């Protein structure tokens, strides 16, 4: 069967496949799968090359000019501990990958701020992914003690967005 003789509803229509590939590029998707009955289409494209693992801060070696060696080693700095207040807080995490927004419009006030009292159904923000806006409910009752994500910031699944002191 020739390429031009396929019907527009045929899942293997080359124009439809080109359209899907353009959507993948536009929204930076690396994989797309569609199924209609027995027909299944799966498209994959190579994503961006993984970044090199982060390297710790580079500090130049400090060599003492001349002097006696220290007689006692300096104790290591104390390990960072979670402050007691943070240990009692709940975290509202991102349920998906996308762009986090603190309000419904650029000129609208934020849904919540530090000190806001929330209930499980209170909307604390929205996440936009592929032009779809998803409201994020608090899921917990309490007071917002820390906003961890900035307006317009890309977020990952499970990324902490807010810290809440449960009531």
Residue 91 has pLDDT above 80, yes or no: yes
Beta carbons of 140 and 131 less than 8 angstroms apart: no
Residue 63 lies in a domain: no
The pTM of this model reads 0.49
My answer on whether 91 and 162 are in the same domain is: yes
Quick one: what percent of the chain has pLDDT higher than 70?
62
Q: Which two tokens stand for residue 135?
A: 């409201």
52, two tokens:
């090199």
Query: What per-residue confidence (pLDDT) applies to 54?
Result: 52
Q: Is residue 51 part of a domain?
A: no
pLDDT at position 24 over 60: yes
* Owning domain of residue 131: 87-166
State the average pLDDT over residues 33-40.
71
Are 159 and 92 part of one and the same domain? yes
* Domain contains 125: yes
Window from 3-7, 87-91, 97-101 with minimum mean pLDDT: 3-7
**Residue 40 included in any domain:** yes
Contact 134, 127 (CB under 8 A): yes
Rounded average pLDDT over 144-166: 94
For residues 95 and 34, state if they share a domain: no
**Cα maximum dimension of the chain:** 88
Number of domains in the chain: 2
Helix (H) or strand (E) run with residue 166 in it: strand 160-166
Domain membership of residue 64 (yes or no) is: no
């Amino acid at each position: 069967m020739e390429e031009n003789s396929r019907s527009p509803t045929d899942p293997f229509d080359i124009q439809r496949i080109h359209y899907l590939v353009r959507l993948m590029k536009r929204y930076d998707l690396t994989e797309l799968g569609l199924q209609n009955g027995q027909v299944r289409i799966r498209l994959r494209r190579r994503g961006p090359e993984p970044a090199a693992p982060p390297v710790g801060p580079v500090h130049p070696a400090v060599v003492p000019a001349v002097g006696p060696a220290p007689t006692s080693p300096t104790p290591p700095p104390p390990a960072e501990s979670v402050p007691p207040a943070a240990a009692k807080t709940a975290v509202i995490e991102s349920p998906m990958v996308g762009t986090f927004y603190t309000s419904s419009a650029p000129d609208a006030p934020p849904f919540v701020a530090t000190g806001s009292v929330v209930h499980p159904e209170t909307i604390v923000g929205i996440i936009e992914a592929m032009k779809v806006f998803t409201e994020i409910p608090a899921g917990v009752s309490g007071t917002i003690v820390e906003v961890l994500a900035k307006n317009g910031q890309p977020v990952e699944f499970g990324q902490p967005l807010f810290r809440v002191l449960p009531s």
